[in-house]
Amino acid sequence: MSTPIIAPSILAADFANLAHEVNMINESEADWIHVDIMDGVFAPNFSMGIPVVEAIRRHARKPLDVHLMIVNPERHVEAFRKAGADNISVHIEVCQHLHRNIQQIQAMGCKAGVAINPHTSVSALENIIQDIDVVCVMSVNPGFGGQKFIENTYRKVSQLKSLIAQSHASAKIEIDGGVTLQNARALVDAGADVLVAGHLVFSAADPKGIIRQLKAIS
């Protein structure tokens, strides 16, 4: 078992002090910066857009893991790439041509992820798992930080782990939503490779200490 990739979610940061928040992540043991994009259509909320991603990029010394919770992501992936995205995840629930969308993202030099909502079965990934770099397993419903972790996620992580092994695929399993110091180890034991953490990190008195604790899981 290797140590997890830790991706603090900037959604929970102080948006009036973004440079300070990004610098904290730079100085921490975190690996990626998770950036949630919401359109008020697919996700019942708005978060941030291209200028904010560009601003984060100017300060960030770590890869930007951009999670698109938007309809018609194929219309916008190029703009997010130009703004500085290193990984781009799209939701399976909105992609009629998922395979094409993945090719589009990888052709721009990005890692491609597929995000699945809590109700979406792992079996929906059977014919795409070999082509993707990341599966973002939503462990809350898209739209808000600080929600309660959905326990069925463990079952999905185990199923996904088997699917990846059977398919000789190499996709990383990313858990997004409600990660705590209590569930993080069990998630890694179940097969999670990447832990996203928003409120856990940014509401802590010592965010770098929390990141260090998550990173120490092996």
> Which residues contact ligand DX5 (rule: CB under 6 A)?
9, 11-12, 34, 36, 67, 140, 142-147, 176-179, 196-200
* CB nearer ligand DX5, residue 112 or residue 194: 194
| H-state helical runs in the chain | 18-27, 50-59, 77-83, 98-107, 153-166, 184-190, 199-202, 207-215
CB of residue 28 to Zn ion, shortest distance in Å = 18
131 is catalytic: no
Amino acid at 174: E
Q: Which does 194 bind (CB under 5 to 8 A by kind): ligand DX5, Zn ion, none?
A: none
* HSE-up (13 A, CA, CB side) for residue 46: 4
Q: Which does 198 bind (CB under 5 to 8 A by kind): Zn ion, ligand DX5, none?
A: ligand DX5
Of the residues 36, 39, 133, 193, only one is catalytic, namely 36
CB of residue 176 to Zn ion, shortest distance in Å = 4
* CB nearer ligand DX5, residue 47 or residue 101: 47
* CB nearer Zn ion, residue 37 or residue 98: 37
Reference 200, options 130, 146, 143; nearest CA is 146
CB of residue 140 to ligand DX5, shortest distance in Å = 6
C-beta separation of 68 from 37 below 8 A = yes
36 is catalytic: yes
C-beta separation of 187 from 153 below 8 A = yes
Q: Which of 10, 42, 66, 67 binds Zn ion (CB under 5 A)?
A: 67
Q: CB 51: neighbour CB atoms within 10 A?
A: 9
Site for Zn ion contains 65 (CB under 5 A) = no
Residues 6+ apart with CB under 8 A from 86: 32, 63, 64, 65, 66, 110, 111
Catalytic residues: 36, 176
Contacting positions for Zn ion (CB under 5 A): 36, 67, 176
